Amino acid sequence: MTVTSSNTDPRSAGAQEDSLGSIVRLIYVSIANADLNADDVVHILDNAKRRNEVNGLTGMLLFDEGQFWQVLEGEALFVQRTYERICLDKRHTNITTLSFEENIEPKFKDFSMGHPVDLTMIHEPVLSETLKSAGDSDKDAAKTASDKILRGFQSGGKWRGLLT
């Protein structure tokens, strides 16, 4: 089956749904390049939102102390293609996939790429814990810490209100 670029809303393409696969959620962490600044992150977010809308993807991006944690949700094919592009992106390195779940209910339906406006409200070193564990190749610890971030930002979570 061919997915054409003129198909701007893959979710509405009912006939294609089965062949496009299930709704999946992928979470990864990475290290931003040292020269990346806040303006660059705003630029990444603006472009991500635009492209994700076209691809029917949702999620969130956390950037803290030079580290990224990102959730991508959507149809498997579009998540996979987007993640392949992200992995080739020279603006970050040490990209580590922390989880990949199939047949999920999206947790960030209202966000083509949400991000927290003010991280000072998070009085826990959750992201650095996750990154450190991933860096130490302690995948179990990284996943546990990553789950904690996800719970904090999902609907009803203590940090949900920070997302914009």
Ligand X SMILES: Cc1cc2nc3c(=O)[nH]c(=O)nc-3n(C[C@H](O)[C@H](O)[C@H](O)COP(=O)(O)O)c2cc1C
Q: Does 85 bind ligand X (CB under 6 A)?
A: yes
Handedness of CA 104, 109, 114, 119 (dihedral sign): negative
The C-alpha atoms of residue 78 and residue 21 are separated, in whole angstroms, by: 10
Stretch that binds ligand X, among 19-27, 86-94, 102-110, 136-144 (CB under 6 A): 86-94
Q: Does 70 bind ligand X (CB under 6 A)?
A: yes
> Least Å distance between CB 148 and ligand X?
20
The site for ligand X, by CB under 6 A, has a size of 16
| Closer Cβ to ligand X, 18 or 35, answer by number | 35
19 with 76: CB under 8 angstroms?
no
* Helix, strand, coil % in the chain, rounded to nearest 5: 45, 25, 30
Q: Does 86 bind ligand X (CB under 6 A)?
A: yes
Using CB under 6 A, pick the residue from 58, 67, 82, 96 that binds ligand X: 82
55 with 74: CB under 8 angstroms?
yes
CA distances from 116 to 8, 102, 149 (A): 27, 25, 12
109 with 160: CB under 8 angstroms?
no
| Closer Cβ to ligand X, 15 or 100, answer by number | 100
Q: Does 92 bind ligand X (CB under 6 A)?
A: yes
Nearest to 49 by CA among 95, 127, 112: 112
Stretch that binds ligand X, among 8-16, 85-93, 128-136, 137-145 (CB under 6 A): 85-93
Q: Does 51 bind ligand X (CB under 6 A)?
A: yes
> Least Å distance between CB 113 and ligand X?
5
Binding site for ligand X (CB under 6 A): 44, 47-48, 51-52, 61, 68, 70, 72, 82, 85-86, 89, 91-92, 113
